[in-house]
Structure 1
Amino acid sequence: MADEFKVGDKVEWHSSQGPVRGTIKKKLTSHTTIKAHEVAASPEHPEYLVVSDKTGAEAAHKGSALKKI
């Protein structure tokens, strides 16, 4: 899978404020909630919990939204 990442990978994604860099904290493979946001992750459609290098904020993103740096 082209969008496969592992814990510790440095990645970049785009937010409304521009590009953000961070680190993969966890691969999500089941339904979960992050800051009152429902994440519909599954083994077939995983998402990744990432931590912003600048703010320390956590967010979940699909692999297709992330780019390894």
Structure 2
Amino acid sequence: MSISKGDTVSWNTSQGETHGKAVRKRVSDFEFDGQTFKPTKDDPYWIVESEKSGKQAAHKESSLTRE
């Protein structure tokens, strides 16, 4: 699966499925919201923005579903 910037995606949270858009792909180690993330070439992270709250979060590409 290949996700591109601006794609509409969904992911699971403790509150259920959340929808939003892919904002930025990260392929090297980075810090976000006080946490350190270590993406790999095969499983990069995406900064996603919730369409409901507008908040951003980091998720592995493998945990996202393109809509």
TM-score of the aligned structures, taking structure 2 as reference length: 0.90
Structure 2: runs of 5+ lacking an equivalent: none
The 5 Å alignment of 1:27-66 reads 27-66=25-64
Matches of 2:66 and 2:43, distance apart in 1: 18
Instruction: List runs of 5+ in structure 1 lacking aligned partners.
Output: none
Tell me, yes or no, if the aligned pair for 1:28 and 1:42 is still in contact at 8 Å: no
Give CA-to-partner distance per residue, 1:13-55, whole Å, 9 cap, x none: 0000111000000110111111101111243431111000011
Q: Percent identity?
A: 31
Equivalent AA in structure 2 for residue 23 of structure 1: K
User: What amino acid does structure 2 have at the position aligned with 1:51?
Assistant: E
Pairwise CA RMSD of aligned residues?
Answer: 1.1
Q: Distance in 2 between matches of 1:24 and 1:55?
A: 14
